[in-house]
Chain A
Amino acid sequence: AQSVTQPDIHITVSEGASLELRCNYSYGATPYLFWYVQSPGQGLQLLLKYFSGDTLVQGIKGFEAEFKRSQSSFNLRKPSVHWSDAAEYFCAGYLNTGTASKLTFGTGTRLQVTL
Protein backbone atom coordinates (compact mmCIF):
# COMPACT_ATOMS: atom_id res chain seq x y z
CA ALA A 1 0.00 0.00 0.00
CA GLN A 2 1.12 3.53 -0.71
CA SER A 3 2.06 5.47 2.38
CA VAL A 4 3.87 8.56 3.62
CA THR A 5 5.30 8.59 7.13
CA GLN A 6 6.31 11.56 9.24
CA PRO A 7 7.98 10.09 12.32
CA ASP A 8 7.94 13.27 14.39
CA ILE A 9 4.58 14.46 15.68
CA HIS A 10 5.94 17.58 17.36
CA ILE A 11 9.28 19.41 17.11
CA THR A 12 10.49 22.45 19.04
CA VAL A 13 13.39 24.59 17.84
CA SER A 14 14.80 27.92 18.89
CA GLU A 15 14.49 30.88 16.58
CA GLY A 16 17.60 31.08 14.41
CA ALA A 17 18.37 27.39 14.73
CA SER A 18 18.35 24.99 11.80
CA LEU A 19 15.42 22.71 11.11
CA GLU A 20 14.96 19.31 9.55
CA LEU A 21 11.58 17.60 9.30
CA ARG A 22 11.60 13.96 8.29
CA CYS A 23 9.46 12.26 5.68
CA ASN A 24 9.62 8.68 4.38
CA TYR A 25 7.56 7.20 1.60
CA SER A 26 6.57 3.70 0.58
CA TYR A 27 5.45 3.26 -3.00
CA GLY A 28 5.96 0.72 -5.76
CA ALA A 29 7.76 3.37 -7.80
CA THR A 30 9.14 6.84 -7.13
CA PRO A 31 6.20 9.16 -6.50
CA TYR A 32 5.94 12.88 -6.92
CA LEU A 33 6.63 14.37 -3.50
CA PHE A 34 5.40 17.53 -1.84
CA TRP A 35 5.65 19.53 1.35
CA TYR A 36 2.69 21.63 2.50
CA VAL A 37 2.40 24.02 5.46
CA GLN A 38 -0.71 24.81 7.47
CA SER A 39 -1.16 27.69 9.90
CA PRO A 40 -3.76 27.15 12.66
CA GLY A 41 -7.33 27.21 11.37
CA GLN A 42 -6.21 27.73 7.78
CA GLY A 43 -5.88 25.74 4.60
CA LEU A 44 -2.65 24.21 3.34
CA GLN A 45 -0.07 25.99 1.20
CA LEU A 46 2.42 24.28 -1.08
CA LEU A 47 6.03 24.83 0.03
CA LEU A 48 7.86 22.80 -2.60
CA LYS A 49 7.61 19.80 -4.88
CA TYR A 50 9.78 17.11 -6.43
CA PHE A 51 8.89 15.49 -9.72
CA SER A 52 12.25 14.36 -11.09
CA GLY A 53 15.76 15.64 -11.79
CA ASP A 54 17.78 17.61 -9.26
CA THR A 55 17.33 15.93 -5.89
CA LEU A 56 17.66 19.17 -3.94
CA VAL A 57 14.61 21.34 -4.47
CA GLN A 58 14.07 24.89 -3.34
CA GLY A 59 10.76 26.20 -2.14
CA ILE A 60 9.13 29.28 -0.78
CA LYS A 61 9.95 30.94 2.55
CA GLY A 62 13.56 29.73 2.45
CA PHE A 63 12.73 26.02 2.69
CA GLU A 64 14.44 23.24 0.77
CA ALA A 65 14.06 19.49 0.61
CA GLU A 66 16.31 16.68 -0.50
CA PHE A 67 15.08 13.54 -2.23
CA LYS A 68 17.08 10.42 -1.33
CA ARG A 69 15.97 7.37 -3.26
CA SER A 70 18.19 4.98 -1.28
CA GLN A 71 16.52 6.03 1.95
CA SER A 72 13.02 6.59 0.53
CA SER A 73 13.13 9.99 2.16
CA PHE A 74 12.22 13.57 1.33
CA ASN A 75 13.28 15.63 4.34
CA LEU A 76 12.45 19.32 4.66
CA ARG A 77 15.15 21.73 5.85
CA LYS A 78 15.63 25.36 6.69
CA PRO A 79 18.98 26.85 7.78
CA SER A 80 17.54 29.42 10.19
CA VAL A 81 14.01 29.22 11.56
CA HIS A 82 11.88 32.31 12.15
CA TRP A 83 9.09 32.54 14.72
CA SER A 84 6.59 32.85 11.86
CA ASP A 85 7.52 29.32 10.71
CA ALA A 86 5.55 27.84 13.60
CA ALA A 87 2.88 25.76 11.90
CA GLU A 88 2.02 22.20 10.93
CA TYR A 89 3.92 20.66 8.06
CA PHE A 90 2.65 17.85 5.86
CA CYS A 91 4.59 15.65 3.50
CA ALA A 92 2.61 14.10 0.65
CA GLY A 93 3.18 11.69 -2.21
CA TYR A 94 1.45 11.15 -5.53
CA LEU A 95 1.85 8.23 -7.94
CA ASN A 96 0.14 8.47 -11.30
CA THR A 97 -1.71 5.20 -11.75
CA GLY A 98 -4.57 6.52 -13.86
CA THR A 99 -8.02 7.43 -12.64
CA ALA A 100 -7.35 6.09 -9.15
CA SER A 101 -4.36 8.37 -8.61
CA LYS A 102 -4.50 10.45 -5.48
CA LEU A 103 -2.34 12.42 -3.10
CA THR A 104 -1.46 10.63 0.13
CA PHE A 105 -0.59 12.77 3.14
CA GLY A 106 1.53 12.01 6.16
CA THR A 107 0.04 12.71 9.58
CA GLY A 108 1.93 15.98 9.93
CA THR A 109 4.62 17.47 12.15
CA ARG A 110 3.77 20.41 14.36
CA LEU A 111 6.65 22.88 14.63
CA GLN A 112 6.96 25.10 17.67
CA VAL A 113 9.51 27.92 17.65
CA THR A 114 10.84 29.31 20.90
CA LEU A 115 12.20 32.83 21.10
Chain B
Amino acid sequence: DGGITQSPKYLFRKEGQNVTLSCEQNLNHDAMYWYRQDPGQGLRLIYYSQIVNDFQKGDIAEGYSVSREKKESFPLTVTSAQKNPTAFYLCASSIKYGELFFGEGSRLTVL
Protein backbone atom coordinates (compact mmCIF):
# COMPACT_ATOMS: atom_id res chain seq x y z
CA ASP B 1 0.00 0.00 0.00
CA GLY B 2 1.21 3.49 -0.80
CA GLY B 3 1.58 5.95 1.98
CA ILE B 4 3.76 7.94 4.29
CA THR B 5 5.75 6.34 7.09
CA GLN B 6 6.97 8.34 10.03
CA SER B 7 9.32 6.98 12.66
CA PRO B 8 9.67 6.75 15.52
CA LYS B 9 6.10 7.17 16.74
CA TYR B 10 7.31 8.24 20.18
CA LEU B 11 10.66 9.83 20.98
CA PHE B 12 12.17 11.16 24.18
CA ARG B 13 15.01 13.63 24.16
CA LYS B 14 17.21 15.09 26.81
CA GLU B 15 17.86 18.79 26.83
CA GLY B 16 20.73 19.72 24.51
CA GLN B 17 20.38 16.73 22.22
CA ASN B 18 19.61 16.78 18.54
CA VAL B 19 17.07 14.26 17.29
CA THR B 20 16.04 13.26 13.79
CA LEU B 21 12.53 12.28 12.76
CA SER B 22 12.21 10.09 9.71
CA CYS B 23 9.63 10.54 6.94
CA GLU B 24 9.43 8.23 3.93
CA GLN B 25 6.82 8.19 1.17
CA ASN B 26 6.17 5.78 -1.69
CA LEU B 27 3.48 7.87 -3.36
CA ASN B 28 5.88 9.36 -5.90
CA HIS B 29 4.94 12.86 -4.74
CA ASP B 30 7.26 15.74 -5.50
CA ALA B 31 6.32 17.94 -2.54
CA MET B 32 6.86 17.09 1.12
CA TYR B 33 6.14 19.03 4.29
CA TRP B 34 6.79 19.06 8.01
CA TYR B 35 4.22 20.47 10.43
CA ARG B 36 4.27 20.95 14.15
CA GLN B 37 1.04 20.54 16.11
CA ASP B 38 0.46 21.93 19.60
CA PRO B 39 -2.87 21.83 21.45
CA GLY B 40 -5.13 24.69 20.44
CA GLN B 41 -2.74 26.02 17.77
CA GLY B 42 -3.57 23.91 14.77
CA LEU B 43 -0.76 22.96 12.41
CA ARG B 44 2.22 25.20 11.80
CA LEU B 45 4.54 24.70 8.86
CA ILE B 46 8.20 24.08 9.70
CA TYR B 47 9.80 23.31 6.33
CA TYR B 48 8.67 22.20 2.91
CA SER B 49 10.30 20.86 -0.21
CA GLN B 50 8.82 20.96 -3.69
CA ILE B 51 11.65 19.09 -5.38
CA VAL B 52 14.72 17.03 -4.54
CA ASN B 53 17.71 19.03 -3.25
CA ASP B 54 15.56 22.09 -2.57
CA PHE B 55 13.56 23.17 0.46
CA GLN B 56 12.12 26.34 1.98
CA LYS B 57 11.53 27.57 5.48
CA GLY B 58 8.00 27.62 6.74
CA ASP B 59 6.55 29.76 9.49
CA ILE B 60 8.51 28.29 12.42
CA ALA B 61 11.82 26.98 11.00
CA GLU B 62 14.09 28.24 13.79
CA GLY B 63 15.73 25.35 15.63
CA TYR B 64 14.95 22.83 12.91
CA SER B 65 16.80 21.54 9.85
CA VAL B 66 15.87 19.27 6.93
CA SER B 67 17.39 17.59 3.91
CA ARG B 68 15.89 16.29 0.68
CA GLU B 69 18.48 14.06 -0.96
CA LYS B 70 15.92 11.58 -2.31
CA LYS B 71 12.40 12.07 -3.56
CA GLU B 72 11.10 9.53 -1.08
CA SER B 73 12.72 10.90 2.06
CA PHE B 74 12.45 14.17 4.00
CA PRO B 75 13.99 13.82 7.49
CA LEU B 76 13.58 16.55 10.10
CA THR B 77 16.24 17.28 12.72
CA VAL B 78 15.16 19.02 15.89
CA THR B 79 18.25 20.75 17.16
CA SER B 80 19.20 21.87 20.64
CA ALA B 81 18.47 25.41 19.48
CA GLN B 82 14.74 24.66 19.47
CA LYS B 83 13.65 26.01 22.84
CA ASN B 84 10.35 24.20 23.19
CA PRO B 85 10.51 21.03 21.08
CA THR B 86 7.88 18.97 22.88
CA ALA B 87 5.11 18.56 20.29
CA PHE B 88 3.43 16.27 17.78
CA TYR B 89 5.19 16.35 14.40
CA LEU B 90 3.43 15.53 11.16
CA CYS B 91 4.97 14.82 7.80
CA ALA B 92 2.94 15.13 4.60
CA SER B 93 3.34 14.90 0.87
CA SER B 94 1.31 16.18 -2.06
CA ILE B 95 0.96 16.06 -5.79
CA LYS B 96 -1.85 18.58 -6.12
CA TYR B 97 -2.21 22.02 -4.68
CA GLY B 98 -3.09 21.75 -1.02
CA GLU B 99 -4.20 18.12 -1.20
CA LEU B 100 -1.92 16.62 1.41
CA PHE B 101 -1.41 13.03 2.50
CA PHE B 102 -0.24 12.75 6.10
CA GLY B 103 1.78 10.26 8.06
CA GLU B 104 0.71 9.00 11.48
CA GLY B 105 2.89 11.51 13.30
CA SER B 106 5.77 11.43 15.76
CA ARG B 107 5.41 12.61 19.34
CA LEU B 108 8.56 14.17 20.75
CA THR B 109 8.93 14.74 24.47
CA VAL B 110 11.83 16.56 26.07
CA LEU B 111 12.76 15.19 29.46
Residues of A within 8 A of B (CB): 9, 32, 34, 36, 41-46, 49, 90, 92-94, 96, 99-103, 105-108
Contacts and interface: CB of A to CB of B under 8 A. Distances in A.
Contact of A101 (B4, B97, B105): B97
B74 interface: no
Contact of B100 (A9, A42, A46, A96): A46
| Most chain B beta carbons < 10 A, residue from A32, A43, A93 | A43
Contacts of A106: 42
B103 A102 contact: no
A107 B41 CA distance: 5
Contacts of A94: 97-98
Interface residues of B, number: 24
Contacts of B43: 44, 90, 105
Interface in B34-51: 40-43, 45, 48, 50
Contacts of B92: 43-44
B97 A32 contact: yes
B104 interface: yes
Contacts of A46: 99-101
B64 interface: no
A92 B98 contact: yes
B90 A49 contact: no
6 contacts: A34-B99, A43-B92, A45-B102, A49-B98, A99-B56, A103-B33
B63 interface: no
A83 to B, nearest CB: 22
